[in-house]
Structures are given as C-alpha cells and as structure tokens.
Amino acid sequence: MDKIIAIQGAKGSNHHKVAIDFYGANVPLKECMSFDVLVDSLLDNSAEFGIMALENTIAGSIIPNYALIDNHNLHIIREEYLNIHHHLMALKGQNINDIKEVWSHPMALLQCKTFFKKHPHIKLVEDVDTAEVAKRIANKKLQGIAAIAPKIAAEIFDLVIIEDEIQTIKDNSTRFVLVQTTKPEVKADANKASIKFQLSHKRGSLAAILNAMSDCKMNLTKIQSLPVIQTPWKYSFFVDVTFDEYANYQKAISIIEIMAEEFKILGTYKNGR
C-alpha cells in the first residue's frame, strides 16, 4: 500500500501542491485541519509523512511549527520553496460587491491585508484552512462568502476567481518541509541541515559556534534566536546551514555538540533552492 501523506489543510491547498510535487498527482492524502492534528497523525501512525510550512519571505519563521518539530522530535527529510499565489474565489456568478465575508487561514488573510483595505465592506473571518473553505462554499452553495486559495482549488471545486494575485507582496516564497517520526538514513545528495542548540547568555558564545561552523566550511542560510521560555538569559538557536562536503558537516556538528547545550539535528537533506 502507498504511504499516506498528512497535509495541513484540504485538497487544493498549497500543502497539497507540495505533496503533488513530491509524490505525484495520485498521492494518498490525509487532510488535517491544523498542524497539531497533522503531528498527531504521524504520532499515531495514521500517516507516514507530513508536510508543514516552516517560513515565508513576508512573515518570517512560523515559530509554532518549529516548536512542534522540536517538541515531538520529528525529522525533516526534504524541503521545497513554493511561490504562493492567493486568489479570491466564490460561487460562479458573484463579483466583489456580492462578497460580505472572506473566510481563510490567518496567514493568508495577513498576506492580503492591502487588498482588503481597499474593500472595507468585507469582513475577515479566521478559518482553519484556505482550500477547505473553497470546498465548503462549493458544497453548501454559500452566497456572499469568498475563499482565498490557490488556483488549483478553484479548478477542483468549480469556483470563479473574482480577483487573482491579491497578495500584497507579489514575491512570496514559502518554505515547506517533509517530516517523519523515525530517524532516516542521510541520503547521498544531502547538502543542507537544520540544527538547534541552546546557549547561555555568555558573551561571544554564539560567535564561537559560528566560527567553528565557518572553519568547517558551513554556509549559514538562516539563524533565529528564541528566548527559552521560563529560563531567563538562556536562548535557543535554530540554524540552517548548507555544505559541499558531508565530512565537513560531520566535523562541524561534532564540535557544536561539545560547545552548545541541548544540541539536536532536526534534519539533513537536499537543499530545495
């Protein structure tokens, strides 16, 4: 039997697009209405893999998803950068003046802020997903309600696109990762890694780690500090590095393991850019 991929949201969502890119159009899906549910389906083995958005060029890191991966010891095995296109869609025959409310995922609402400023008669309502709303509009024949979703959702659910490309910043790249609960073998083409460690608030401690990484020819592509909750003056760092030689990477992590606390590899995989 084919392995089941848990996605955040419904068919027609951006997570669905990424699943298709990874596994083809007939990928067996489990639709999850939150990232928490997605992680639960990995933990109870009702899905083998999960696809999670991790950061985008507008809002930065999706910190709660980093926390989910970290707290449940998930492993990142693959990544993809997807350009996000938001389209406003509704039942056929309706136009922008017919729309009273738009229901969508908070992130999609945020990314279309400027468009909705020009249409103050439309009420913004948080919903669990982008594409699931498109489905609901179609199934329940909801008049006056619009969804924000990718083009694929309008095709699947036979809706009309009222306005296309309503996102404020046109160049909106989102990074998705494929995760699983078991620790995988590192593949031969791996040239990127996501790691996490803690440091005490001691002067130069981060510089020392970055020096070691640089000495081992690691390139930093992302760094993010987060205060450790309820532990003043202690910081977690989520760092992504790319590298040419796996041996150099192994050397780097063996050094960081000694220098930092709570060191953990979230995943070693092929660079998606």
Q: Which is nearer to its own copies, 19 or 102 (CB)?
A: 102
Closer residue to its own copies, CB minimum distance, 168 or 181: 168
- Rounded to the nearest 10 degrees, the angle between the axes of helix 63-71 and helix 35-43 is 20
What is the smallest separation between the CB atom of 20 and its own copies, expressed in angstroms?
25
Phi, psi of 27 (to 5 degrees): -55, 130
CB of 66 to its own copies, least distance (A): 9
Q: Is 160 helix (H, G, I), strand (E, B) or coil?
A: strand
Binding site for its own copies (CB under 8 A): 57-61, 63-64, 106, 109-110, 123-126, 169, 171, 201, 203-204, 206-207, 210-211, 213-214, 217-227, 229-230
Residue closer to its own copies, measured from CB, 146 or 152: 146
Residues across the chain:
273
Closest separation in Å from C-beta 131 to its own copies: 18
Exposure class string for 124-142: b at 16+ Cβ within 10 A, else e: beebbbbbbbbbbbbeeeb
B/e letters for 170-203, b = 16+ CB within 10 Å, e = fewer, are eebebbbbbbbbeeeebeeebbbbbbbbbbeeee
163, 96 in Cβ contact below 8 A?
yes
Tokens of 193: 């890694």
- Determine contact, residues 10/129, Cβ cutoff 8 Å: yes
Q: In angstroms, what is the minimal distance from the CB of 177 to its own copies?
A: 16
Query: What distance in Å separates the CA atoms of residue 196 and residue 16, rounded to the nearest whole number?
Result: 28
Least CB distance to its own copies at residue 48 (A): 25
Measured from the CB atom, is 173 or 250 closer to its own copies?
A: 173
Q: Least separation, in Å, of the C-beta of 143 and its own copies?
A: 18
- In the complex with its own copies, the residue whose CB is nearer, 188 or 229, is 229
**In this structure, are residues 175 and 272 in contact, taking their beta carbons and an 8 Å threshold?**
yes
CA distance 10 to 89: 16
DSSP 8-state symbol, 13: S
Instruction: Give the integer Cα–Cα distance in Å for 61 and 55.
Output: 4
- Looking at the Cβ atoms of 152 and 240, the one nearer to its own copies is 240
Q: Which is nearer to its own copies, 73 or 225 (CB)?
A: 225
- Cβ closer to its own copies: 187 or 220? 220
Q: Whole-number minimum distance, CB 22 to its own copies, in Å?
A: 23
Q: How far is the CB of 125 from its own copies (least distance, A)?
A: 5
